[in-house]
Chains A and B, each alone.
Chain A
Amino acid sequence: MDTLTQTAFGRALIGDSLMFHLLFITFGVGMPLLIGLLEYMAIKTGDAKWRHTARSWSKVFILLFITGAISGTMIAVQLGVVWPQFMAIAGPVMGFAFFSEGLAFYVEAAFLGLYMLTWDRLKGWAHLGLLIPVGVAAAASAFLITSVNAWMNAPQGFRMENGLPVDIEPLVAMFNPALFTTFTHSMVGYYLTAAAAAAGYYAWCWLRRPAARTKHHSQVMGLMLGVMLVMGVLMGVTGDASAKYIAKYEPAKLAAAEALFTTTAGAPLTIGGWLVDGVWHGTIAIPNLLSWLATGNMNATIQGLDQIPRSDWPPLQIHYFFDGMVAIGMALVGLIVLYWLLYWKRRTATTSRPVLWALVAAGPLAMIAMQLGWLVTEIGRQPYTIAGILRTQDAITASPSVVRAAVVFPVLYIVMLVVTLWVLVRMHQGKERVS
């Protein structure tokens, strides 16, 4: 088998694995905050219903955590055995972050066990306090693994000699230019998506189950929309910072995402369109907007793909992913604003069925936006695994079993996803057996 085919299968395998893992770690990072807020409300109001709700969501969290732990194990294994050349470089430079991420997960799992086993033993702040290490460890875990990904996009802190990294400065490597924007943008995305999924669940219940139309459910939905409002604002701030970072450090990714073939002063923002034989058709261009978004100057020059060797171009299709992510993000912000406007006007937003249906859609859409964002990040770095250092085709193992794995693992992921969703539905129906 030729290297390109082998690489394609390897990329498909790790891509499937990361997308599957992202479904669960989004909640692994985001849900401790939501559960903590619910338990805090129980302490603040003394109302047992908040505590019951927090406990119910903690059961959902456990189930998602389990599946996330399994999918995380798959990725750890695949990184080692499918991408050994990548790890041979990343190990000495960023291995300490990889390793520490595992330890943070270890702390999260241990305290999560303690948190779940003490629902009937501890009350108030004593019990809520056990969730804090879970949330902090989850965030630390996300920070550490994101630092590795950011380093892949903006590698520094070493130089290559005879195919191996030398003069390694691990902390310089970790605190690379991509770290802050990648970490903050993705963290906000995790919290926003988890809150959107929870709000969507309550909206669905409100629409479909008259018995669920209680003041408490309305309050919980409002709490989730409150989280979404805060995260929506932060999403805009971090998104803007991300755009400015990409323009400065990853011009090829920006040019491909924005379908900008020619280096342009006062570059337009390109929206929509379809790709035929390497040419975009039917796009809408908003003059000067890309220059302004990327630099703060409407007349700034933005580097196009013409300045980049053709062999280093990322796949042009990332324009679809980028547009999809931005469109969903804008729609979510609009929905959040609409919800709170209705609430401000009527003191409730649950009377508007279109808004409730939009909230039902918000959860899956937020998850799709998360996936699209990571697709832009990962595919936009191609053809490199470590930008400018290691091409993807040079990073992959020579073993042909990658092909079998690339076929088998997605099937396993689908089975796991179906089973997990099925159990979640049973939990919703009150048939769950999670203790």
Chain B
Amino acid sequence: MTADYQTAAVAMAGIPLAFAILYSIFGGIEFGLPLAALTHDKAGAARGRRYFSPIWESTNVFLVGVVAAVMTIFGAGLPILSSLLQPLWLLAAGALAVRGALIVGVFYGGWTNWTARVLLAVVSLAIPAVLIQNSTIMLTGDGDLLNHLGMVVALGTLAISLAVALWAGYFYTPGKTTRDLARLGFWLAIMLSWFTLPLAIALDGSVLSDGRNVLSVMWPVYGLSLLAVLTLASEWRRRYWVASAVLTAGVAITLFVAQMPYLVRPTVLLTDMVTNGFSQIWIATAFGLAVVVVVPVLFVLHRLVATDSRH
């Protein structure tokens, strides 16, 4: 096995990572959005519905991207991944379906009762908390989450705090309740990232079985959260969502770095599972083309939303 081949496999793993980062950011905003309905911030809820509804739930495309990328790039590893992740993924998929029905009812069908709104908020925040547990399993190679409750709780809380921070930042309104939630959510996310993530990663001895120090994989979260703090301190100080997005990316990258070069630690190597050369080139090229097309569109969408928000 050559070093080049291993590098290529890790590089290809960057594609599901990219989708995971995008899903974390856009999904985080969506997962936190039902809080607007809970806090009676009608302006926030209305803005969320009006300006995010065109791409509402198409955020799932990024989740499909993660799944499709793993299935196609590391398809040979699916029997192993399936046996480990199946209950978690089916639980998440079921929660997504419940949430989908609630979204349609609350945001499109005018369900105003408290029960529906609370249920929507709870399910919405539970989904990232469940999905991030993939990292617990893939970092430990143990499908039984009960054996790693420390990681489960730490990562779940982190995912929820990031969702709160992202939502509150994106729909930040000066002088409104969201401002306080934004601050609370953002600083909670920073604290959890800095202090509990290394602890969570180190909780199982097999996590860094190659002898690396836990802190050696933490540079993305420290580096990017520092950038996030600087962002807040700059003239963009009101753009909490940019800072939260940067922090979210840092967490995702950290979990990725901690896992390399394994698909499932500590035994299943990426290089043993990566697909053939043709598929690698095709997938990388298609991904690059899609980025070229879609990123400008997403940017324009964001500007349109921002312009509308000011009016």
Chain A residues within CB distance 8 Å of chain B: 62-63, 65-67, 69-70, 72-74, 76-82, 84-85, 87-88, 90-92, 95-96, 98-103, 105-107, 109-118, 121, 164, 168, 170, 397-399, 401-402, 404-405, 408-409, 412-413, 415-416, 419-420, 422-423, 426, 431-435
Contacts and interface: CB of A to CB of B under 8 A. Distances in A.
B100 A416 contact: yes
A107 B108 contact: no
Contacts of A87: 71, 75, 78
A208 B298 CA distance: 43
A95 B60 contact: no
Nearest to A95: B72
Contacts of A420: 104
Nearest to B65: A102
Contacts of A66: 56-58, 100, 103-104
A79 B71 contact: yes
A431 B108 CA distance: 9
B175 interface: no
B82 A107 contact: no
Nearest to A415: B101
A423 B105 contact: yes
A102 B73 CA distance: 13
B108 A432 contact: yes
Contacts of B60: 69-70, 72-73
Nearest to A103: B290
Interface string B61-81: 111110111111111101101
B50 A67 contact: no
B203 interface: no
Nearest to B80: A84
Contacts of A408: 94
B145 interface: no
Contacts of A91: 71-76, 78, 275
Contacts of A116: 53-54
Nearest to A92: B275
Given A62-B53, A102-B61, A114-B304, 7 more contacts: A79-B71, A107-B294, A168-B278, A397-B83, A409-B94, A412-B101, A419-B101
A410 to B, nearest CB: 11
Contacts of A434: 53, 108
Closest 10 CB pairs of A and B: A91-B75, A95-B72, A109-B58, A84-B82, A116-B54, A70-B100, A113-B54, A113-B55, A412-B97, A84-B78
B38 interface: no
A92 B279 contact: yes
A106 B61 contact: yes
Contact of A401 (B86, B282, B297): B86
B57 A435 contact: no
A179 B247 CA distance: 45
A114 B295 CA distance: 12
Contact of B110 (A79, A81, A114, A431): A431
B54 A399 contact: no
A74 B100 CA distance: 11
13 contacts: A70-B96, A80-B82, A84-B78, A84-B81, A87-B71, A91-B71, A99-B73, A99-B282, A100-B282, A110-B58, A110-B298, A399-B83, A435-B49
Question: Which one of A70, A99, A401 has the highest number of Cβ atoms from chain B below 10 Å of its Cβ?
Answer: A99
